[in-house]
Amino acid sequence: MADNVMEIDDARFESEVLQSDTPVMVDFWAPWCGPCKAIGPVVEELAGHYKGQVKFMKCNVDDNPATPGKYGIKAIPTLIFFKGGDVVDQITGMVAKTKLEASLGKLL
């Protein structure tokens, strides 16, 4: 995992994401998911570009079922954009980098 993307789990989700002073993008994924693997490098590239402005997290849905359940995630990859503990945007599936950048722009 890239230095700019942090793994998050159910236990730390509230403190690291919902209580964060910095906007957060969470990538809900699983190691067996092809589209998740495909979007991973794009997320890592964006994490480097937005370093210091947005925190980038990955949550393995197999290891951490409570948080995806809370947000009604039925398909992966799902990326949720949080600001001040609130969901600002949500994207499901493999999408173009420009769509991710548009959602990140809503956080800044």
Total-model pTM = 0.96
Cα(1)–Cα(68) distance, rounded to whole angstroms? 20
Q: Summarize pLDDT for 29-42 with one digit per residue, the tens.
A: 999 999 999 999 99
Which CATH number goes with the domain that contains 98?
3.40.30.10
Catalytic residue among 36, 54, 80, 100: 36
Active site residue 59: no
Write out the two tokens for 30: 């699983």
d(CA 19, CA 5): 18
The catalytic position among 33, 39, 57, 107 is 33
pLDDT at 3: 80
Which tens digits make up the pLDDT trace of 40-80?
Answer: 999 999 999 999 999 999 999 999 999 999 999 999 999 99
The domain in which residue 42 lies consists of 5-105
Cis peptide before 77 (omega within 30 of 0): yes
Domains held by the chain: number: 1
pLDDT given for residue 2 in this prediction = 55
Give residue-wise pLDDT tens across range 78-106.
999 999 999 999 999 999 999 999 999 99
Q: Look up 33 and say whether it is catalytic.
A: yes
Tokens 């490098």 correspond to: 41
Cα 84 from Cα 42, distance rounded (Å): 24
